[in-house]
Structure 1
Amino acid sequence: MAFRPVTEPLEAGIARQRGVFEALSLLTPHDLPGERKIRIGGPGDGGYVVVDRLRGSQPVMSFGIGPSVTFDLDLAERGHRVLLFDHTIEVLPGEHDGFTWYREGVAGAADPAQRLFTLADHMAKLPHGTEAPILKLDVEGAEWDVLTETSMGLLRRFEQIVVELHELPRLEERRFRSMAWKALATMSSAFTLCHVHANNFGAIRTVCGFPIPETLEATYIRSDLVQAAASTTFYPTPLDTGNCLDWPDYPLWFYPFVPGSGKAAFPW
């Protein structure tokens, strides 16, 4: 049997492991008794599970379009005005009268030369007095800066947020873990994580002894609107589909996603 050489003191390794454990704890999902979830968008990449509280009067801000607008088309067909943002594509892969497209991206700090603007900048495009919007963030890693640099007052204007969280195995790195912790703690302070799904285009990595999906789809709803309870849900659910339909979906039957994880404590 080959052994890896020890390159750090035991205490440093335990501290890093504890940091990963505590960051993951912020991704513990909750059930919403009395609420129903629905899938918006078709099977495969581009669909998300949300709480069935959608109202056609709610605008949708959808960041990161790529090759699929199934999520956006579904919402537009339901009567929502959908604002779509993506600076990496030349044209939308689909059209609808309810769409307004901006060839712009979102970032923690504005960079107009790169067509990047803050979430606050983009929210100025919403009509004054608009009903609480829905936010979708699928921006290939930029979500961490966006969530850490956006004020809680502004985030609370959204009723639901669906976000794809990238590069989670980097929680082993102190700088990334600090940024992710800030983003996830900010979200947890005002929103309830109510659905999770691992993107099966990525892998499940082992980091400090914990299995961690490379990319996680997460649904949040504002906590003041719902009653949350400890999760009894095993993910994926019947509402979920693999992002790659040619491969099996990943069962999230491990900490912090499996029921009972919310009671876990670091053992030392």
Structure 2
Amino acid sequence: MSFRPVTEPLDAGIARQRGVFEALALLTPHDLPGERKLRIGGPGDGGYVLVDRLRPGQAVMSFGIGPSVAFDRDLAERGHSVLLFDHMIHALPEEHARFTWFREGVGAVADPARGVSTLADHMAKLPPGGEGPILKMDVEGAEWETLTETPVNVLRRFEQIVLEFHELPRLGESRFRRIAWKALASLSSAFTLVHVHANNFGGIAIVAGFPVPETLEATYIRSDLVQTAPSTTFYPTPLDTGNCLDWPDLPLWFYPFMPSTTKPAFPW
């Protein structure tokens, strides 16, 4: 067995561990006593879990479409108007009468040359007078800076947010960790994380001694709308399926996803 020599000074290594620990703490899920969750979209990639508070008057903003509109189609069939955004495809994989597609992307700053606008700018496309909309975001890493640059009062217009967090093993990098912490802290200031699922197209990496999924699906609901409790849930749940159905799902049986009644403190 060979060992890689440790070249990081002790103080720097502990500081990095603390930073990763504190960023991961912002991904601690909570339970919703008395609430029910449901899967929207079929098994495999393209499905997500939401809290069962959906009402047809809620519009849906769906960023990042790719080859599947399973999530969007399910919501359209329930009576929701769905606004779909993806500047990397030439056409939707399928149409629906309640779909409105924009060949545009989302980012931290507007870039008309690339067909990218901010989330706040895109929200002007929402139909007037609707109830709290639903946001879905799967934008291959652009979520981090988009969230850091979106004011909390804009995010709070959404009732639920479901998204994929990409490149989580980069929490070991100080610059990425600062951006990720800001994004997660912004979400946590107004929303509660209520469901997590590791995308099994990726794996589990060890970052500063902590296991970290490469890609995490996360469901948030606005905190002022629900009563929450410490998590007693083991993930994945029966609502979840592997994104790749040919491979086993990834158990999230480690910090910060394991059931816990207390928030742990960094031990050193």
One-letter amino acid of the counterpart of residue 189, structure 2: S
- Name the counterpart of 1:11: 11
Alpha-carbon distance, 1:262 to partner: 4.5
Asked whether the 8 Å contact 1:62–1:82 carries over to 2, the reply is yes
- 1:116-127 alignment runs, 5 A limit: 116-127=116-127
Alpha-carbon distance, 1:8 to partner: 2.1
Structure 2 counterpart SS, 1:67: coil
**What whole-Å deviation, never above 9, does each CA across 1:211-254 have from its counterpart, x for those lacking one?**
10000000000000000100000000000000000000000000
Asked whether the 8 Å contact 1:50–1:219 carries over to 2, the reply is yes
- The reply on whether 1:253 has 2:253 as its aligned counterpart is yes
Alpha-carbon distance, 1:4 to partner: 1.9
Structure 2 counterpart SS, 1:59: strand
Alpha-carbon distance, 1:127 to partner: 2.4
Q: Distance in 1 between matches of 2:155 and 2:162?
A: 12
- 1:84-163 alignment runs, 5 A limit: 84-163=84-163
One-letter amino acid of the counterpart of residue 93, structure 1: P
- 1:204-215 alignment runs, 5 A limit: 204-215=204-215
Asked whether the 8 Å contact 1:204–1:214 carries over to 2, the reply is yes
Structure 2 counterpart SS, 1:24: helix
Asked whether the 8 Å contact 1:28–1:261 carries over to 2, the reply is no
Q: TM-score, normalised by structure 2?
A: 0.98
- Name the counterpart of 1:42: 42
- Name the counterpart of 2:23: 23
- Name the counterpart of 2:198: 198
- The reply on whether 1:224 has 2:263 as its aligned counterpart is no
Asked whether the 8 Å contact 2:165–2:216 carries over to 1, the reply is yes
One-letter amino acid of the counterpart of residue 188, structure 1: S
- The reply on whether 1:182 has 2:182 as its aligned counterpart is yes
Alpha-carbon distance, 1:261 to partner: 7.2
For this pair of structures, how many residues does the alignment match?
Answer: 268
Alpha-carbon distance, 1:6 to partner: 2.6
Residues 70/56 of structure 1: CA separation in 2 closer, same or farther (3 Å cut): same
- Name the counterpart of 1:72: 72
Alpha-carbon distance, 1:266 to partner: 1.1
Q: Distance in 2 between matches of 1:131 and 1:259?
A: 33
Q: Distance in 1 between matches of 2:262 and 2:119?
A: 31
Q: Distance in 2 between matches of 1:209 and 1:10?
A: 14
Q: Distance in 1 between matches of 2:112 and 2:227?
A: 41
Q: Distance in 1 between matches of 2:66 and 2:237?
A: 25
Q: Distance in 2 between matches of 1:69 and 1:261?
A: 37
One-letter amino acid of the counterpart of residue 143, structure 1: E
RMSD after superposition: 0.9
Asked whether the 8 Å contact 2:26–2:188 carries over to 1, the reply is yes
**What whole-Å deviation, never above 9, does each CA across 1:54-76 have from its counterpart, x for those lacking one?**
00000000000000000000000
Asked whether the 8 Å contact 1:255–1:261 carries over to 2, the reply is no
Residues 100/262 of structure 1: CA separation in 2 closer, same or farther (3 Å cut): farther
**What whole-Å deviation, never above 9, does each CA across 1:109-133 have from its counterpart, x for those lacking one?**
0101000010011101112322110
Q: Distance in 2 between matches of 1:28 and 1:109?
A: 29
Percentage identity across paired residues of the two chains? 79
Runs of at least 5 residues in structure 1 that lack an aligned partner in the other structure: none
Q: Distance in 2 between matches of 1:5 and 1:58?
A: 55
4+ residue runs of structure 1 moved beyond 3 angstroms? none
Runs of at least 5 residues in structure 2 that lack an aligned partner in the other structure: none
One-letter amino acid of the counterpart of residue 20, structure 2: V
**What whole-Å deviation, never above 9, does each CA across 1:82-110 have from its counterpart, x for those lacking one?**
00000001110011000000000000101
Structure 1 counterpart SS, 2:58: coil
Q: TM-score, normalised by structure 1?
A: 0.98
Q: Distance in 2 between matches of 1:32 and 1:188?
A: 16
Asked whether the 8 Å contact 1:162–1:217 carries over to 2, the reply is yes
One-letter amino acid of the counterpart of residue 219, structure 2: T
Q: Distance in 2 between matches of 1:225 and 1:75?
A: 21
